[in-house]
Structure 1
Amino acid sequence: MTATHTSVDDYDLDRHGVVEASAGTGKTYTIERLVLRLLREEAVALEQILIVTFTEKATGDLKRRLRDTLDRASQANDDQASLVKKAIESFDQASIFTIHGFCQRTLKDYALEQSQDFRPALVDDFDLLKVLLREIQRKDWRRTFGSNLRAVLERAGYGGEQAEAWDRNVLEVAKSYKPRSGHQLRPEFQPDWWRHLDKADAAPAGQLEIFTVRALLDKMRESKRQRGQHSFDDMIAAVEESLDPAQNANAVRLLGMLRERYRYGIVDEFQDTDPLQWRIFRRIFCEAGDSKLFIVGDPKQAIFGFRGADLPTYLAAAEEMTATYGADAHPLVENWRSDPDLLDALNCLFGDGEWFSKETGIRYLPVHPPDDDKRQSYKGEDHTDRAALTLVDVTNNETIKKALKHYARFIAYEIDRLLARHSDKPLLSFTLKGNAERPLHAGDICILVMMRRDAEPITQALDTAGIPFSFYKQAGLWQSEEAIHLEVMLQALTRPEDRSSFRKALLTCFFRVAPADLAHCPDVPMQHPARQLYQTWLGYVENRQWSALFRSMLEDTGLLFPATDDGGSGRRVTTLRQLLATLEEAGHGENLDLLGLLDWIRRRRQQRGTGEADMQPDEMGRAKVKIMTIHASKGLEFPIVFLGGGFTKGLGSKGPAKYRDDDGRLIFDFTPDANPDAKKRVNDDAQSEYRRLLYVALTRPMFKLYLPKVQRPARTVAWLGPVGTILLPALEQACPDKNGPLIADVVVPPLALAVVKPYEKPDSAAPRIAPISLTGPLFPRIDGNLSKRRIVIRSFSSMARHHLSNLGEGSSFGEQTPLALDETPTTLDQDDPLRGPVFGDMVHTVLESIDFAEVGRATAPDDLCRAGTHARKLLDQALKANLAKLRSRVPIDQLEDACRQQIATLVWQALRTPLQQLGGPLCEIPKEDRRHEVDFLFPERPGAAPPADTRWEEGFVTGFMDLLFRKNDQYYLLDWKTNLLPAYTAEQIERSMADSDYHRQYRLYLHAARRWLERVHGPKFSFLDRFGGVYYLYVRGLNGRDDTIGVYFHRPNAKELELSELLNP
């Protein structure tokens, strides 16, 4: 395959193309530019370009980025701009799919040509296979083998403790085995093998497994045919068969229709394809017709073989496209991610021809950074005393296990040092994606592991050091430690008379009683707080008050505000919140009692799901070091990366082996021990997979990469992982000129590493509740004035009403209802429906939920009202909920249109008005930098004690902040106002701010924001330094062009943060 080093702007659009990327080389940008060229130069309609990528998330990201690219291109002053604008108008019809989405659309649109059901039901193959396996074992085995069944099972090793593993192996093979993809089963199937078990040359090993796999596939196919069902894999197989003239008489006609529909095809992540998918695209785009195909992928990052991805298919397809179909090869070699020093090291490591050997068919082309004036991410101040690539030498440990713990302590030590938690001066700062330079924070650091268990010593070290961390997309929500504690707690509530169950519950995270304390306490008296809380919960259980029960399990146990933070308390609470919310929904939705809830939990715990519903939640707020598997990290990038695993590897299972034969076909072998060649092939495939995994890991960092160096035993051992067998030998040989120094700086950390937690200022936002103790007094001293105590909750509305009416009485109890200070009547007709609190609420609702980027792309308010857009759906939802509440004398349809247009205009102007202090409009603030409708509740006198012999009122302040957002590492508060003013000049707005007491309002908001941000960022956070200012935007006065009218901005000083002056005017 001849490589042509050309820019995407020079690709020949009349030829097929093979775009081979490397990590960080702008693969998605290339696709965007390619689509733009097709629209502008070939006058192709957007819907005539088929774009296929791997995941739903990737599809959404590509749509968003492509839409932004088209929006920018539509502003050009040239003849092709109209073509781009036409594409924008029809963007909802863009043909951007996952492979399953494309096949589903094809099956639906051309059901007659494929003899397919119009609306087949979707089914999960694995769930169906499990049911069918039981049926085969109960019926087919006995019917087929008859009196030989016992001997068949004995020779197959089925029975006892082995039965579950046998079932699992067969199900896994049946799920993955695809005969139409050329897959093979081994050993060769022998007809009537079960009749000759007593013969000397009988070889029954693996025969029952193959018999069962074949029976499973036959039964599954028939079951789905009878019930009108199909799975995701069936969609691909059905389309592939329908395009094969040998399988479908209408194939030629169908191919002609698809070629007419799609003039160009772009398949992203093509290294994750399989033979069926390649045959689909080859038949549509390559075998006939004028349509052209571009495949885009990186074989070096082919790491999803366990999902069915087939690297040999990619290599064969790329070769076939260039050799047979005349495709141009377009390698991407400009790396936009990593620092030049790091690129030099990686080029030296991967580019010597030994990392990816010729036998693998993978080649590594050296990459280079863009010119300095084009780079968008680069280092600023660097006082870390670390090179781009650091090798951490832990070879002075006696065992691999000790080395792993030593390396984990170094990671915690180094992260603590890099974050400069004991200093006011950052060690490292940088610019990312063209934003302002900023210092390193914990969220910029990623620790990559091969497997989850590799992270255990690292999380222990981080916990000890008090370094916040979180797992990225950690599967196994219902297999988590918190789920186990929840099950034990609920189990105890089903057995109130069982002393043992209650004592187990005391050990859970809800009570946190130490085992040593429990061992010295024979029983817990009924007066003990733990026993009383348990009795309260029993009452909730009896009445199925799941909301009250689960709320109490979080709030009344002190979980929300633990006495000490071990670094994992936030993670535990976040996980428990998701567990309890899901369980509450199941309890109410399915009308379950407690035993039903327990059974529901156990079923979920037995399912090893990997979908979003089974993902443990990401923690919000405080920046945390991210820990993730290498597989999860693909496509991501981080300023600093530690490779945290790969010291050891599993020894493999005794189940079937998976490998490739000389023709590249995938083999499922149930008797690998009998075939020495199979063992070698399995090992070779594993080593190749490890090299690709390590390539992915080592290409995630932008500035600094840390790798471990462990002691290799004198002789090769089976359990030694890829760090010792692959990475270290390569590093030892990788030199810039083969005679100079190693490409990495070596650090030898001392064996005794300790990280001192930084001093943390006590947080007065809420009381810290210690674990329930089994010693000490059972009851606190009773306050003589207890009956006179009350809790007062004050909001800005209650304070404003009190202030504006000059009343001398105190605020009302439990004040929660906002005063309608907005929409103050002016000169407009009182019957005008587009004023008043109802209309104001609709505007607020849309501003809270709308996609800011969509508003940024809209060239006029009418674009937001266009049918089918996300903005139109939000507008219609707001109208549906509130239209009947508006007072009007006009017909309802006219009112609806007028109201929709007015809201769209206000929203469009509000989000597109350039704000001087931000350097641009709000629509440019990405979603991850915004928090809408931030509610708060904080004590009026935090930490104060009740005066002696006085009546004590516990006061709290509550409210909502419309928008809290971040720009250039500065935080801002914003409040939308829909007030009707005679004019929206600075003078009129200042008068409105004073008359409505909004200065008091934003000072309350400032206090709430300061408390939250200081808690999130820790004691070194300076609110006044990092707070950009307060915006009050009067949306009726904004014009979308400049901020001369309708805008109030203020940057606060220290005095304005004093709470006492606000609460005692």
Structure 2
Amino acid sequence: CVADIHQTLLDARAGTAILRGRPVQPGDIAVLVRSHREATLVQRALAAVGIPAVAAGKQSLFSTSEARDLRALLLALLQPADEGRLRAALATVLLGQRASAIASMEREGDLQRAFQAQLLHWRERWQRGGPFAVVADVCAAQGERLLALIDGERRLTNYLQLGELLQEASAQALGMHGLLDWLQGQMANADQNDEQQLLRLESDARRVQIITLHKSKGLEYPLVYLPFVGIDGGAPNNAAHCTVHVGGERQLHWKLDKDEAWDAASGQRDREQRAEDARLLYVGLTRAEHALWIAIGDLAGLGRTRLAPLLGDLQGLRAHADVHIDDSEPVLRLPQLPVEQEGELPAVRGLTRRVPHDWWVYSFTQLAHADAGNDIEAAATELPSPAADEPAGAELPLEPALPEPAATEAAPLDPRFMGSRFGNVLHEALENVDFAAWGGWTPDQAAPDGQAELLRKALHDEGYADEDLDDGVAVLVPLVGHTLTVALPEGGALHSLGEGERRAEIEFHFAIEPTAVPALLQLLHAHGISSARRGFGLRRRLEGLMTGKIDLTYVRDGRWYVLDYKSNRLPGYSPDLLQIAMRHSEYDLQALIYTVALHRWLRFRLGGAYDYVRDMGGIRYLFCRGLDGNGNGVHVDRFAPALVDGLDALFAGGDAAHAELVARAIGARA
């Protein structure tokens, strides 16, 4: 098979193997096999003589040697001072150190220290950027060596795919030890039938296609090779069980003894297998468009195969120009197929654009947590959550000079249902309950039909124990009920909003051009926003993307509103106290960012038909623990047009850039 493909490609380069008026290419050739093991054998044999091939078999990514290599690297990163782990990692194909270099570490202390310093660098890189950052760096550094291997592209593809999966798993805050446990668990339970674990194909451009007979059904290829259809190993069947089909159903039979039942079942299994072999042979024989190559000769069990009855008239078969029956002796050694060059390689482009150091993906939480000793990068390592801005403890302190009125909640707070964890539950509940179902709810009533189950699910998904769910539902019912039935300043309540009038958890991303922090603070302070702030960490300017999620965006009487739910516990919920709470936690800055996001979106979607003064209704912050129907617990504001336009202009790169963006948006809509 390999020798014939090799010769065909040599003839193509000499101009004597022509297909459709052009020389035969590797991509015109398909090798059909029965199993992944056979596919691997063919791919390695082709690669050994320089013929590129891609195999489309099924194999779990976690059962590959590349998974073992990354496990060795992770073990070394956990303990960089452990010489045994260091040597094991250096010996992997990924790092590819020679045995002589590893052995010389005994005598050359500087070499060992250099390797350990590299591990420490990768460990820090892992902690700052995640596992994929390290895997990508290593693959980039070792790429030339890896791609020079016979199966180098396959290995490189596997390393990068594993790096992506490790990065996804790291989002669960497992830590390096937890990530090692996760990887080892995946390796121990590797499943080739799990779509998430299947190998990603290498580039198949101009490569020989190696595909299983099952996968090839319904497909056609110009040139088809069948190297294994004439082989039947004939190994004795020692299986302790077998599966047969009876009456359209699958039946499992166990070999308890050599009795008639087992003989009948195993005999039926053998007949079904022979019928399946015949079907697969038919598939293989009918896939070729122009030519078919079949291997016969001194092969194990050729007489027992389904191919054997078709070989009665070999001379007649050989008379067909498009069928090649090969019974020649295998070629033990073939020369490398010369690498084909397609003209001169273009010069490598030089890097002229500098990525700004200050470019970042910002959020309100990162900005609010950034101060002179805590830069934005540090805040960015915190996991985002719907209630990431809620206090971790029970209390939000207010200005000491302000007398503390009694809390307005009817019952003392249960410490189980406080802080950001319960805030996440409340956000989840309000995202998924049926607003309209709560329209007739009154205090001291149970949840409407079908709503308690949604509240229980929100608690369960956040990790609350089963024995706490009933108590949690009892706390959630009045919070959700008051939130959805409290009167809003523009009239009505949330429960009266139709599905088309509201959207929950709108995620936004908008660009921030280089924005000087002093200019930003000057604008904010001029309008009473974040008055106590003197900077955002150590940065002198902000640049990148602003991202966030708005709890609820709704429209009433043609005006748009930004609404945010808060589960903070305050000493009181009167408008004056809410104003202090908004300033203290910088929720006024959050509300402004959300308003600018909605402002930009409406301007883009509506173009010249949008007007902030006419169409923006303002912000509504509902402090759910203090809603009582008398105006308490509801913070209402509407930012001045000069503030919204000014911040939008700053983020757009200044007044000129802002005007250009508006003109582009209006032109695009027109």
TM-score (normalizing by structure 2): 0.48
TM-score in terms of structure 1 length: 0.31
